[in-house]
Structure 1
């Protein structure tokens, strides 16, 4: 690339020995020109003959370890052979940077002194020596307070060096930029709004350094502002007033409450110590202890409801700052009466014997209950311990009626043991019980029942009069006279003979007897009814059908009725010897 820059030429002529002409030729080029770029045409600028220059020895003496430039003998041009980095060539940050070189031409000897000015281009971005800047700022710092920040460095010079700084958006900070005597830009972080560590403990900011080049280059560093706590928050309890209960006779050491105060500060400014204030009575401090570190209030002595019913404590939480702040609360403890009396049952009236047909809703007993405790401990409920055909009707707070709820049946349940349980509403509840016995009296509500509705009884003829034929027994589940049965044969006539003349039954046990001897050849069966009747008032009865079957016996001798003979049954017939088999004789 052969871009010719503007050549600034100052020439001074001096006459020296040996007719050598000495002069200083100055050029200016930007840094970072590409290799092969033409700086100047020395032949034209120095008045050299191009045609004779090729036969003369030409030497370029550069006062630097790196050969940046060379002379083309054919064209007389000074060209770039190595990129020139101004910041590497001139390590000190100055606005001027020169590369000195001598052009030496033999035959005749001529020496030309050349100064090449290297101008800066914006090839370097600003950078901070530390990428992260950490600041500790007290939250009590006043707006307007300044905090010095390290400035950014840019090896470029002039307009290409650091021109300004910019801070990321913040409600509490901005930056103030000022220049040093050498033009260096310095920056301070300025507090614009009061800090609150409890609201925001760390502020993360970005500081950007911007140079004046076109286009501009930038460099950034992060700023971490840690807000240091000051004791600006007093401890606070969760509640200003606490109300709670404790049972009397609670053992020593029983935890009443664990107070919890919080302090929005940190460190020792948030470490709290709990204590009773002077408003807390000595009696209360004798009965309760307060742990200064945990805020736990516990029973210290025996608490008696009858001695004191309410305790009031004033508690302070103080932080451990050199200049401490404190918060207060009030704790009111109400002593609960212990449920130490059992409820009682008193039977005021009792019908322990009732008839089984007693009407539903009838009163069996009047029961009174009581409890010497107060409040819920003295309120009681009465109930039965199992499901029975009775129910309790509460007629007043302490009086109950025991009533019949369903029809009773003595034959199913002859006796009830009713356990009444009285329980108070204490916690834990206390209870007592009382058992009463109710016996049911029998009523004649069941008729006698025979096991069968029809009896068939076989009787062999020629039986002896008075023979037991069968026992017909009925059952009655009632008691006493209601259970005592009498048996009857229901009267009827058979062949003009009363049934009671043929059969009899024992009225007490139902044994059935034959009153005469039966002849199968005369009567073969009898059908009649037997009744069983209890002795209740009015009596109940039932009957059963009895079928007597006369069984035949071989009790009759065969008789020849023809031919008939008056003096016996022997009949003589004479037959011939030659009579054949099968011949009818008589």
Structure 2
């Protein structure tokens, strides 16, 4: 039983391989596809699932896969549609080489259940390989003696493709010497031959370059090339040849030993030793040639060997031969003629004969300066001499005869530019090399008085303080003369003219030699602010030359004038009546003063000095206005007679002062009323007359403005067309000022000055301002405002910073605007009083405006600006106007100003 059981186990074990083999044979099949090589990725190969009878739905469940026996996976199956496609690059030459048939074997396996299919994909060849020669360049050496029809075997090309794609044909680029023989057998490349058609000549063409091209039978056709470099080997079939059969050379007799005479050049078209040449003198060699010359056998250079002497032998004939080194040497011949030249061994000689030195700088061109003669002992070209001159200007050489020259003046001279000329005369012969000799001559230029003295500036501005000591040195003028000796000696003098009523020489003098300008007596700024004159500089030449320079001497102001009171009362005091019923801030009196100085020296301030009684506590004075007003209401206890001392002081260094006395009488109200009525009646009559005057003044101002514009236009036209004339100074008209509701015009009777120029008629400066109406003093509200401003009056206000102008401007311009008489004016009958700044006061109150610079007698400026603000809103009177600023300056353009009395 055991054996039968074992036998039962043996049967399945033997049947299993048989069953598997049966299943394998039942599932196997052979499918054939074809694909061209180098097909792109995704190229369709075949519907493998359909061709194998498989359903697309069972590919993935049965684990369908394709296995390639070759390297990589060139083909792949898309499990979605069962299409076999190209997966990677397929190169037939890489897979199968030169095999005629190339296939890829695939195994298609279905795992569940196991089933195997065999697929064969044939790879079709395409013409993707060009023919390739073993070498890109092939060198062949052929002797030029080889006869025609000689054959030279060549290596053919190879093509990795198969069939028609590898069928090669050959062609050779057209030429006269070689042809290609393929024996009509395209497959046997070993039979490819190069055939010589024509005899070669190395001296004509040393190397032939041919291009052999192989083409396959594919579509498109591919080609490969090889360059054939055929070198022609030389045979000694040419003799050396010289460039010339006869050479002629020249050599100077003083040539050094070893001097190169000539380098011969013979050429042999042969190559190698057949073209190597040896030079030598042809035998027999003459003793003279052997003594004087030697030849280099390698390069053909002939050099001097001994001393050459033109007097012994002038010409040498040298026969030369050139032999190559071939097996059968060949020779070439030539003759060298050597001519010995005479040497230029004598330099020219130069002789200069001076005629007229030095030369005046005003000498005319073509003036003869010197005679020059040259000589040379050589002959021929060595004895021909030419002369040259350096520098070329302002002289030149003129040939007068053979080897004779004249040195003449070519251009005008200027001693101030160059006083001495160092000339060099060069004589040079025409020899080769040329020899030369030089001679120097120094030409001095004599001075002529042709330059006037010149000043560094056309005009000088000098500032001198007034009250200088007599003989004070104020300036030094200096002129330079470019001439020499006495023509450069300069003396100085004044150009005399009148300054007002006096001569210029009464003011200043100038030292004739040093040019120092002195003030002869103390200068007074109040008398003369600008002194303009000319200083003349004259040289000592003949005729003498003169030039002038203008000096503007500005006299600077010093504080040498004390303030002067205007219209003091009897006994030097001012008397005023004041009612005891007036309140605080009532205007009692006004102290007015002028100062003849300028600037800060004329800026006045007022102070109330201590006096008997309580006058100082009862009254006060405006610091810059001079207005005396009450500080409180009067009562019966106040003394009926009050004596006030007002100190008027300028701002100079040191300050000067004057004292004004104001006598104030305190009266009862009825007595003050009678006095006021009398004053009002007189004022009414004056105001009526003033209104009539205002109308005419307005008409006159308009007329004058029109005339002024017309005058300026005419003056400008005359100024451009006519030369300037010296002007005169004289007393000017006073500037008339009238008062109106919107402004004020005033005139100055105290001091009338004009600004004048030394080059034109006198002129005046006109200025106008248009302030708003000032508040009335004496009202209740005005009194309160005065008390509020009393603290501001205790400290003097500094001048407006715009007023700090330079001394040159202060001395150059003098304003003609003076407001001394404009203290209190009325606009008309019944109109309010208007407060205007006067020559001696400038109100410090902010509501009254400001003046820049501060108005004072004699204040100088080149421009004025008056600013008036609105009145105090608390005070009664007309409506205040807007702040107004009006500035006028009328002055002739481009002229220096000078004040004249």
TM-score using structure 2 length: 0.35
Tell me the residue number matched to 2:258. Answer: 253
Partners of 1:269 and 1:509 lie apart in 2 by 98
Shift of 1:536: 1.2
In the superposition, relative to structure 1, how do residues 286 and 558 fare at CA in structure 2: closer, same or farther (>3 Å)?
closer
2:574–2:663 CA contact under 8 A, matched in 1: no
3-state SS, counterpart of residue 585 of structure 1: strand
Shift of 1:228: 9.6
Partners of 1:240 and 1:420 lie apart in 2 by 48
Query: For 1:494, which of 491, 499, 505 is the aligned residue?
Result: 499
1:277–1:316 CA contact under 8 A, matched in 2: no
**In the alignment, does 2:477 pair up with 1:439?**
no
Partners of 2:516 and 2:543 lie apart in 1 by 25
Tell me the residue number matched to 1:331. Answer: 336
Tell me the residue number matched to 2:479. Answer: 474
Shift of 1:540: 0.8
Partners of 1:269 and 1:548 lie apart in 2 by 105
1:414-437 Cα shifts (integer Å, max 9, x gaps): 222223334444444433333322
TM-score using structure 1 length: 0.51
Partners of 2:482 and 2:358 lie apart in 1 by 19
Partners of 1:242 and 1:349 lie apart in 2 by 53
In the superposition, relative to structure 1, how do residues 259 and 479 fare at CA in structure 2: closer, same or farther (>3 Å)?
closer
Tell me the residue number matched to 2:347. Answer: 342
Shift of 1:331: 2.9
3-state SS, counterpart of residue 406 of structure 1: coil
3-state SS, counterpart of residue 479 of structure 2: coil
Tell me the residue number matched to 1:519. Answer: 524
Partners of 2:485 and 2:400 lie apart in 1 by 38
1:487–1:506 CA contact under 8 A, matched in 2: yes
Shift of 1:444: 1.2
Q: Any residues of structure 2 matched to 1:96-111 within 5 Å, and which?
A: none
Tell me the residue number matched to 1:364. Answer: 369
Partners of 2:528 and 2:326 lie apart in 1 by 131
Choose 483-492 or 454-463, whichever is displaced more.
Answer: 454-463
Partners of 1:272 and 1:466 lie apart in 2 by 109
Tell me the residue number matched to 1:585. Answer: 663
Partners of 1:199 and 1:539 lie apart in 2 by 95
Tell me the residue number matched to 1:414. Answer: 419
Larger Rg computed on CA atoms: 1
Query: For 1:542, which of 544, 547, 553 is the aligned residue?
Result: 547
The structure with the greater share of residues assigned to strand is 1
In the superposition, relative to structure 1, how do residues 299 and 577 fare at CA in structure 2: closer, same or farther (>3 Å)?
closer
Shift of 1:303: 0.4
Shift of 1:513: 1.7
2:426–2:437 CA contact under 8 A, matched in 1: yes
Tell me the residue number matched to 2:537. Answer: 532
The structure with the greater share of residues assigned to helix is 2
1:336-359 Cα shifts (integer Å, max 9, x gaps): 223333333322336552222333
1:384–1:419 CA contact under 8 A, matched in 2: yes
Shift of 1:542: 1.0
**In the alignment, does 2:309 pair up with 1:304?**
yes
Shift of 1:505: 1.4
**In the alignment, does 2:244 pair up with 1:239?**
yes
Shift of 1:448: 1.1
Shift of 1:413: 1.9
Q: Any residues of structure 2 matched to 1:272-311 within 5 Å, and which?
A: 274-276=280-282, 282-289=287-294, 297-311=302-316
Shift of 1:478: 1.1
Partners of 2:144 and 2:618 lie apart in 1 by 164
Query: For 1:462, which of 467, 483, 508 is the aligned residue?
Result: 467
Q: Which runs of 5+ in 1 are unaligned?
A: 1-133, 138-194, 202-225
**In the alignment, does 2:551 pair up with 1:552?**
no
In the superposition, relative to structure 1, how do residues 549 and 292 fare at CA in structure 2: closer, same or farther (>3 Å)?
closer
In the superposition, relative to structure 1, how do residues 452 and 308 fare at CA in structure 2: closer, same or farther (>3 Å)?
same
In the superposition, relative to structure 1, how do residues 304 and 460 fare at CA in structure 2: closer, same or farther (>3 Å)?
same
Query: For 1:383, which of 370, 385, 388 is the aligned residue?
Result: 388
Choose 235-244 or 464-473, whichever is displaced more.
Answer: 235-244
Bigger relative CO (Cα 8 Å, ≥ 6 apart): 1
Partners of 1:299 and 1:250 lie apart in 2 by 8
Q: Which runs of 5+ in 2 are unaligned?
A: 1-142, 147-198, 206-232, 577-610, 620-628, 631-661, 665-901
In the superposition, relative to structure 1, how do residues 477 and 261 fare at CA in structure 2: closer, same or farther (>3 Å)?
closer
Shift of 1:302: 0.5
Shift of 1:245: 0.6
Partners of 2:442 and 2:473 lie apart in 1 by 47
**In the alignment, does 2:405 pair up with 1:400?**
yes
In the superposition, relative to structure 1, how do residues 462 and 308 fare at CA in structure 2: closer, same or farther (>3 Å)?
same
Tell me the residue number matched to 1:562. Answer: 568
Tell me the residue number matched to 2:623. Answer: none
1:387-434 Cα shifts (integer Å, max 9, x gaps): 643333444553333343433322222222223334444444433333
